[in-house]
Chain A
Amino acid sequence: MISEKKPGKISRYGMSVDIDKCTGCGACMIACAVENNVPPAQEGATDLTGLTWMRVFKVDNGQEYPAKQSVYFPMMCQHCGLETPCYLVCPQQAVDVDPATGIVGQIPGRCLGCRYCMAACPYHARYFNWWDPKWPAGMEKTLNPNVAPRMRGVVEKCNFCHGRWHAAVQRAAEAGLKEIQPGDYVPACVEACPAGAIQFGDLNDPSSAPSKAAKDPQSFRLLVKLGTEPKVYYHSRREWARRIGDPSQAPDGKETSHG
């Protein structure tokens, strides 16, 4: 469902991730969970039933010592710009593509929990609330008052901290500015990364880091041939790492462990 009001400036927010710089520390994962009120894992949860809007994978080049190399690969919603799979398949229009920012948002209050979007997403970026959210006693003090928690039985995913964009627009309006300043809207993972591996910006702005990454020949995106036009650009100097985005690599070449 496209938002009803007409947008002012059209942005296309994207990310660039330098996987050579990523150390796999996981600060981005924690920051994301804290910012977005993601509940801690319940008893019985596994790595496949937890909620990890941001998730760092470890990917190897499939060789043995001493040629073995690894990268750490942060995965989040790619905010597909064309033929957005989840948006097209949701029967209740619970996926909202914001025309002002290009951000693919989720409307948890309308989500039925049919999980069709989860089947549709090739990046496995969507997560289902298999349990009722519960925070241990005392932990409710860490909750972010600006983000609504979700109920059991609905799907959620990374939304580039869309609430922070709203806050930035508010601040710009209060300051009498027409547009938000480039540095004023930054998702939690970008803010938390100590190595500066994740950069965020408007792909329509040629001076932003993602725009530059888009033109860099050492950048790649995941599953480009599917035609989804993801807005997250990964960058590596290593050739084998750049082939991560190509799914026709031999399936038994790469190991996975989850950070």
Chain B
Amino acid sequence: MDNMDRRFIPAGVSRCSTRNFLLWLAPWAALLAFGLYAAALCLIKGLNQTHMNNRFAFGLWIFLDLTVIALGAGAFFTGFLLYILKLKELRAVINSAVVIGLMCYGGAMAVLAVDVGQPLRSWFTFWYPNVHSMLAEVTFCISCYLTVLLIEYVPIVLKNRKLREIPSFLVFEHELHKLVYVFAGVGTFLSFFHQGSLGGLYGVLRGRPFAFREELGIWPSTFFLFILSAAAVGPCFVLLTTWLVQTITGKRLVKPQVLQSLGRISGLLLAAYVFLKTVDTFVWLNRTTPRSGFLPAQYYAWKPFGIWILFAEMALFLAPMVILLLPKLRARTGWLVSAAVMACCGVAVNRFVLTIQTLALPTLSFDRFLHYVPSWQETGSFLAVVAAGVLVYSISFRYFVLFPEERELRTGPPAAPQTEPALAGR
């Protein structure tokens, strides 16, 4: 079986034995099974299996959905930088970014299917859309984008060493790849809107002054801030996963300049984001909030969400911004990866604050502050997404070319040329 397996592994690279690979997959498969069981309980018995309630209408799932979609933004943004802005060095990570994006968005959609009370009615949003609703925009864009990601994944699969021996697969992959810039463009357009609408989801809630923001055009400021933070953190996540895969497999997969390039792009966008977010925070606290009849102090009067959370969020964006903008620090892997981790955590805190904290805070004067801890079914369902992601990524890494530079990096630098005098330039 090992021999059969070898035929599917790309040329010019080495992978571990089939037995070791199955050993690696086994615990993730077990986690997936457990998570699917948890999700099945929620689907069969109802959402009373979760610890969400009428006041905490959104819980762990929505928070994690928003976070993984922000992290998966690396797929569209890397595609945009490579195919539209022609930053050729990113060719080294685009395939990996597409797989990550696919798992992030696919996972988010799967969790959403469990999160809604009536999943079989999901098509209602398409049939009777409310074009003014941010959630309708999110639904449309994410569905289209998931389709685009699947289409972008197909060439990666078809290029498999054995599969491409089938002539129809070979030519179809070739033709799809020639048009990849179309998909990159469509993906960028869709991502712009859905990343923004995810921010708009909370920015339009005039009933939740903690989340509500004033409009720029027809969209609240969170629309633009979410796009920017997703674009800033997407490359960080690609960087992080690449480093993680390199560390786990012990292989060199990309030239170090690629990771630093991703870091630099992230740093620049983080700078823009930090500036705009600071302005937005000032406007929100000093103008928008009093106009709604609330006081800014009320937002942070409840334990455990004191004012520290606002500063933590800013710090988790500020610190990586500084690190990633300094070439000396960027060149050191330790600093680079730490900055990437911080940026990803920053985006998680940002999404957390807008989902969980928004719902925890009271709006009526006689309301209490509420606590919410996810149930094991909720946690399990989400772990299923993580496990599925690792499984699909591992299988893709083994059988498809996720890192085109790996082959080159294996041969190492050319040996000192045998000094043939005739070779000297004429």
Residues of A within 8 A of B (CB): 1, 42, 44-46, 48-50, 57, 59, 73, 83, 85, 88-94, 110-116, 118-124, 126-132, 151-155, 222-228, 243-249, 251-256
Residues of B within 8 A of A (CB): 46-48, 53-58, 115-118, 121-122, 124-125, 128-130, 132-136, 139, 201, 204-209, 291-295, 298, 301-302, 358-359, 362-370
User: Measured between alpha carbons, how far is A254 from B221 in the docked complex, in Å?
Assistant: 33
Query: Which chain A positions have C-beta within 8 A of B139?
Result: 91
Query: Which chain B positions have C-beta within 8 A of A45?
Result: 48
User: Measured between alpha carbons, how far is A151 from B134 in the docked complex, in Å?
Assistant: 25
Given contacts A121-B207, A226-B209, A251-B302, 6 further A-B pairs with CB under 8 A are: A48-B55, A49-B54, A113-B116, A118-B54, A226-B207, A247-B362
| Cβ A48 vs Cβ B54 within 8 A | yes
Tell me the dominant secondary structure on chain B's binding face: loop
Chain A to chain B contacts (Cβ below 8 Å), 26 pairs: A46-B53, A49-B54, A85-B207, A88-B132, A89-B205, A90-B130, A90-B133, A91-B130, A92-B130, A111-B117, A112-B124, A113-B121, A118-B57, A119-B57, A123-B363, A129-B117, A154-B117, A225-B291, A228-B207, A244-B366, A246-B293, A246-B365, A248-B293, A252-B301, A253-B365, A256-B366
Question: In the complex, which of the residues A93, A112, A246 contacts B122, with contact meaning CB atoms closer than 8 Å?
Answer: A112
| Cβ A114 vs Cβ B116 within 8 A | yes
User: Measured between alpha carbons, how far is A48 from B363 in the docked complex, in Å?
Assistant: 16
| Cβ A124 vs Cβ B132 within 8 A | no
Enumerate the 6 nearest inter-chain pairs by beta-carbon distance, A residue then B residue, closest first: A113-B117, A153-B117, A122-B207, A225-B293, A48-B53, A91-B136
Query: Which chain A positions have C-beta within 8 A of B201?
Result: 116
| Cβ A83 vs Cβ B206 within 8 A | yes
Query: Which chain B positions have C-beta within 8 A of A46?
Result: 53
User: Measured between alpha carbons, how far is A113 from B135 in the docked complex, in Å?
Assistant: 12
User: Measured between alpha carbons, how far is A126 from B129 in the docked complex, in Å?
Assistant: 21
User: Measured between alpha carbons, how far is A126 from B364 in the docked complex, in Å?
Assistant: 14
Query: Which chain A positions have C-beta within 8 A of B359?
Result: 119
Query: Which chain A positions have C-beta within 8 A of B301?
Result: 251-252
Query: Which chain A positions have C-beta within 8 A of B121?
Result: 92, 110-113
User: Measured between alpha carbons, how far is A253 from B368 in the docked complex, in Å?
Assistant: 11
Q: Nearest-CB distance from A211 to chain B (Å)?
A: 24
| Cβ B54 vs Cβ A113 within 8 A | no
Question: In the complex, which of the residues A44, A127, A247 contacts B54, with contact meaning CB atoms closer than 8 Å?
Answer: A127
Query: Which chain A positions have C-beta within 8 A of B56?
Result: 48
Query: Which chain A positions have C-beta within 8 A of B122?
Result: 112
Q: Nearest-CB distance from B219 to chain A (Å)?
A: 14
| Cβ B53 vs Cβ A227 within 8 A | no
Given known A130-B47, A256-B368, contact A91–B293 (CB-CB < 8 A): no
Question: In the complex, which of the residues A91, A153, A247 contacts B365, with contact meaning CB atoms closer than 8 Å?
Answer: A247
| Cβ A85 vs Cβ B206 within 8 A | yes
Query: Which chain B positions have C-beta within 8 A of A126?
Result: 54
Of listed B115, B118, B122, residue having the most chain A CB within 10 A: B118
Query: Which chain A positions have C-beta within 8 A of B129?
Result: 91-93
| Cβ B364 vs Cβ A122 within 8 A | yes
| Cβ B116 vs Cβ A254 within 8 A | no
Of listed A49, A110, A155, A252, residue having the most chain B CB within 10 A: A49
Closest-by-CB residue of B relative to A60 is B366
| Cβ A225 vs Cβ B365 within 8 A | no
Closest-by-CB residue of A relative to B369 is A251
Query: Which chain A positions have C-beta within 8 A of B205?
Result: 85, 89, 119-120
| Cβ B118 vs Cβ A91 within 8 A | no
Closest-by-CB residue of A relative to B291 is A225
User: Measured between alpha carbons, how far is A246 from B57 in the docked complex, in Å?
Assistant: 24
Closest-by-CB residue of B relative to A43 is B48
Q: Nearest-CB distance from B128 to chain A (Å)?
A: 5
Q: Nearest-CB distance from A59 to chain B (Å)?
A: 4
| Cβ A247 vs Cβ B124 within 8 A | no
User: Measured between alpha carbons, how far is A227 from B206 in the docked complex, in Å?
Assistant: 8
Query: Which chain A positions have C-beta within 8 A of B294?
Result: 247-248
User: Measured between alpha carbons, how far is A48 from B125 in the docked complex, in Å?
Assistant: 28
Given known A153-B116, A226-B206, A243-B365, contact A92–B124 (CB-CB < 8 A): yes
Q: Nearest-CB distance from A253 to chain B (Å)?
A: 8
Q: Nearest-CB distance from B378 to chain A (Å)?
A: 13
| Cβ B46 vs Cβ A131 within 8 A | yes
Query: Which chain B positions have C-beta within 8 A of A249?
Result: 365
| Cβ A113 vs Cβ B118 within 8 A | yes
Closest-by-CB residue of B relative to A89 is B133
| Cβ B58 vs Cβ A119 within 8 A | yes
Q: Nearest-CB distance from A97 to chain B (Å)?
A: 12
